[in-house]
Amino acid sequence: MANLFEKGQTNLKGEVINAGYNFVLILVQILGVNYVFSVETYPQSDSQETKPPQQIPVAEEDIPYLSNPPTKKEAQAYWTSNTETNKDGTRKGGMFGLNNLGLCGKIFIGDVVHFSVLENTHKNTIVQINTIDHADGTLDACCMKAYACQTPSRQAVVDTPNFCMLNTIMYVFVIARGLITPSVDYPSTADTKSIALAGGGFINGNQNVQQAHDAETEEEGAKAKTSQVIHTVNLPQRTDGTEEPRYCTFSLIGEDGTVKTFGMDRGRINNVQTRYFGNQDELPIMYKATDKVEVLAGFWIPAKEFLAITNNPATTSGRYVAWIAHQRIVQEAVEEISKM
């Protein structure tokens, strides 16, 4: 299948028909033929298995219009709220940063974008958005670089948790997170009580999986100051998108009282590389995190204590797990380590 666009094309335009976390879905018409593709804020990694927009026509009746999309104002209010669940009962997970809505918080459903093509890669088409005709009738001149692919990319992340046995107790290394805005699973306002496994994050567009593991261990202080043998246990890849609400569909009650939806279920892939130090007389000393903004401190806690944390304010021990999936990872890792 041939690519839809060629390097150097200009004076292209498309209508935004859906939007979500750092992506918009765009409809273009070329020589009377409809095409639909995704445009995203960040470049895709090979793990996301994307490809540039293709010459795949879409019949008029198959264009994936939303039946009742929210206005930008409604979506912005919902996006930045501390709401824990969507109207359909699925998990939203609290506040998101406004710059992650659609493209950089500027482009949303109903807008018409004018763009040119800068480059094609095996993963995406790199475009430059020049002007935006907003749904409210205003015009916005810009020079925004973005990444187009055939279908919205799934989330690709790594986690590199560290475990150690001390006095018959299994410990896991965690970090206290300090964010300007709460993380996706955090119940209300951010503070130092929000903890997460150290060594986790996105696979960036220029990284393979191992490079992402290595980068995240340094960034979040998950690298030990030791020369002792470390046992590596790779957990099976997970592709369950329900663990990551940012890459799912959102639903809300609009100002007119109706249920409105936007976004789409995009899926995810999670690569977990567990590092186990074995049975030691003392817990390993870790290097300091290079990220001084999101990482406030790193420390070891018993795995059972981490698994017992609940994000229910009525029963919490005073800490919150920033990413609910981390408890599942710890449970699976402890089970695998016990087989060694």
If one compares 313 and 131, the residue with the highest pLDDT of the two is 131
155-337 in CATH: which number? 3.90.79.10
pLDDT of 180 strictly over 50: no
| Extents of the domains making up the chain | 12-69+101-149, 155-337
Question: Among residues of the chain, what percentage have pLDDT more than 90?
Answer: 67
What's the average model confidence in pLDDT over 125-136?
Answer: 97
Q: pLDDT band at residue 189, thresholds of 50, 70 and 90?
A: very low
C-beta separation of 188 from 163 below 8 A:
no
Best-predicted range by mean pLDDT (183-197, 272-286, 303-317): 272-286
pLDDT of residue 177: 77
pLDDT of residue 182: 43
pLDDT of residue 185: 41
What's the average model confidence in pLDDT over 246-273?
Answer: 93
pLDDT of 211 strictly over 70: yes
Mean model confidence pLDDT for the chain:
88
Q: pLDDT band at residue 92, thresholds of 50, 70 and 90?
A: confident
